[in-house]
Structure formats: structure tokens, C-alpha cells
Amino acid sequence: MSVRNISTAAWLAALCLMPAAAMAQMPKEGTWEWTHCFGGPVHTTIATPEFTAGTYLVTGVSHSAGGPVETMSLECSGTFEYRGGKARSQGHCVHRDSAGDRLFGTDSMGPQGYVFEILGGTGKYAGITGSGVVESLPRVKPIREGTMQACRHAKGSYKLP
């Protein structure tokens, strides 16, 4: 490989890794949609035909094509239960962008549907609030027993101070 090819490859890599904030400032309020995919261990505490409950810890990535938040890494932990044919869950997630700034919030599934709430953030996301709805995408069979893998599509609005 020539020196010219290495320089071009390094330049392209730097451009692809440039934080979204360096390309455009995030508006003070707006809407966005993103898809996030994740996987990780699931611990089932109770498993009967009538009631199943447990916890999860997953990591993954979220992506918002053209939105104010591009690709971010994520980590979520939470609890779930299936009772009487109905699913409930409560999770807490943190998303981190390429500049290291974080966005955190909760999601829950219950009688009100599947929703999320943005609780705050660091750096350019400090003081952010927002909410929206979540759609589960088609189920994925986990690669290994005792784990989960899934993708979700979310859309909502946010406000910065």
C-alpha cells in the first residue's frame, strides 16, 4: 500500500468519525427518529406459564440518519415481566456520542404502550428533556441461550435549555 493510499484512508476514517456536533450545531428543540439495536445477558428470575420476570443488561448502537443525533453507543439495564398475557418493562439507558457526550433516560412498556422519556445529558445535551414512542421491530432469535438481541425504532421530540 502506498503512502498516498494510507493518507486517503486515514482522512476518510477521520471524516466518518467526526462528531455530529462538529458538522452542525443541534437545534434547541426539535424532533428526531432513531433505530437502536442491542444485545446482552438476560437473567430470568421466575418462569412459570402464568408469570415470568427477570432483568437484562444490554449494549449496542443507535443511529439517526440525518437527525440531530447520529450514531451513538448505548447501554441499558432494566426489568421485565409477563403476567396474564401482558408484557411490562422498565429500563434505564445511556447513549454516548463520538465526542463523549451522553444522553440518558428511561423507557417503559405497559398499559400506556411503549414509551421513552429523556431525563438529561452531559456536554451539548446538558439539560435536555423529551419524550416519545417506541416500536419493537421483528423479533430476533438470540445467538446464545440466556441472552437477548433486538432492535427498536423510536421517535419523539426534545428541548434543550
Domain at 33, CATH number: 2.40.350
Residue 2 lies in a domain: no
Is 17 a residue whose pLDDT tops 50?
no
Number of domains in the chain: 1
Mean pLDDT of the chain: 84
Q: For the chain, where are the alpha helices, taking DSSP H only? A: 3-17, 20-23
**Which domain does 102 fall in, by range?**
26-159
Is 116 a residue whose pLDDT tops 80?
yes
pLDDT of residue 67: 66
Residue 5 lies in a domain: no
Residue 12 lies in a domain: no
Rounded CA gap, 121 and 72, in Å?
13
Is 106 a residue whose pLDDT tops 90?
yes
pLDDT of residue 85: 86
Average pLDDT, integer, range 14-19: 37
Give all strands (DSSP E) within the chain, no chain letters. Answer: 29-47, 51-63, 72-83, 86-96, 102-110, 113-121, 129-136, 147-159
Give the model confidence (pLDDT) of 35-78 as tens digits: 999 999 999 999 998 999 999 999 999 988 766 677 899 999 99
Q: What pTM was estimated for this model as a whole? A: 0.78
